[in-house]
């Protein structure tokens, strides 16, 4: 399984996804990122990790992934917990444990937890679409 | 695997379900509902095929749909 180069990536609109569906799909994806209950850096690090698991981005550091700079220890703790769930949601969704979600709920609240889990699920969906269709 | 509902309903007193849990983030729920309605409303794929794949996917992921 090779990693597609960026120049090979095709926008979804060009693979003839109906315009209305594409528009609503993109609006929904934006809402998972800009709902402001979860720091953007955490979402981006999770997205990077999920894309790496799917072989869509190269892992470049010793831990296997690059993470954006996190500015506070609270966010660092949230990021670690979020990355655990990001990895499991990609290939071991039944392995996600109550205690892991409880911790995210404690750190982010119910709204943040909904935003994070939804974003992670659809980062995975986006990666699968890109992997299967060759489109993003 | 979840042993209990992991998130509470956003509507006090209601048992948690997909919609009222997602309601914690109203904007996401609204955009998801828009997308899902469009997805089911029309497409090149028949409703029968979509429903069949939905049931199959639910069984494979053990979601109880």
Helices A19-33 and B26-41, axial angle in degrees (round to 10): 160
Question: CA A61, CA A49: separation in Å to the nearest integer?
Answer: 12
Question: CA A52, CA A14: separation in Å to the nearest integer?
Answer: 24
- B38–chain A Cβ distance below 8 A for any pair: yes
Residue A31 burial (CB count, 10 A): 23
Question: CA A102, CA B23: separation in Å to the nearest integer?
Answer: 18
More confident residue, A119 or A70: A119
**Count of residues in chain B:** 65
Question: CA A89, CA A8: separation in Å to the nearest integer?
Answer: 27
Q: What are the chain B neighbours of A111 within 8 Å (beta carbons)?
A: 24-25
When CB atoms are compared, the residue of B28, B30, B31 closest to A114 is: B28
Q: B52: exposed, middle or buried (C-beta count within 10 Å: 0-12, 13-18, 19+)?
A: exposed
**Count of residues in chain A:** 136
Tell me the pTM. 0.85
3-state SS assignment for residue A10: strand
* pLDDT, tens only, A69-117: 556 666 889 999 999 999 999 989 999 999 999 999 999 999 999 999 9
* pLDDT, tens only, A26-50: 999 999 999 889 999 999 999 999 9
Residues of chain B with pLDDT below 50 are none
Question: CA A129, CA A116: separation in Å to the nearest integer?
Answer: 20
> Cβ B7–A115 below 8 Å, yes or no?
no
When CB atoms are compared, the residue of A20, A25, A114 closest to B7 is: A114
Q: Please provide residue A54's backbone torsions phi and psi, each rounded to the nearest 5 degrees.
A: -80, 0
When CB atoms are compared, the residue of A18, A93, A115 closest to B25 is: A115
Q: What are the chain B neighbours of A94 within 8 Å (beta carbons)?
A: 1, 62
């Amino acid at each position: 399984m090779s990693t597609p180069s960026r120049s090979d990536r095709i926008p979804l609109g060009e693979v003839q996804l109906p315009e209305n569906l594409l528009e609503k799909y993109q609006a929904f994806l934006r809402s998972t990122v800009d709902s402001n209950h979860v720091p953007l850096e955490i979402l981006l690090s999770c997205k990077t990790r999920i894309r790496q698991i799917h072989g869509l981005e190269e892992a470049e550091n010793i831990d296997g992934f690059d993470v954006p700079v996190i500015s506070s220890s609270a966010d660092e703790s949230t990021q670690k917990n979020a990355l655990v769930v990001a990895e499991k949601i990609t290939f071991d969704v039944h392995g996600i444990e109550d205690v892991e979600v409880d911790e995210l709920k404690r750190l982010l609240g119910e709204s943040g937890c909904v935003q994070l889990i939804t974003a992670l699920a659809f980062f995975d969906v986006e990666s699968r679409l890109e992997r299967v269709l060759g489109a993003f | 695997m979840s042993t209990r509902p992991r998130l509470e309903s956003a509507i006090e007193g209601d048992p948690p379900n997909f919609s009222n849990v997602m309601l914690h983030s109203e904007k996401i729920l609204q955009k998801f509902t828009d997308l899902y309605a469009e997805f089911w409303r029309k497409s090149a794929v028949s409703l029968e095929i979509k429903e069949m794949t939905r049931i199959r996917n639910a069984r494979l992921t053990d979601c109880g749909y």
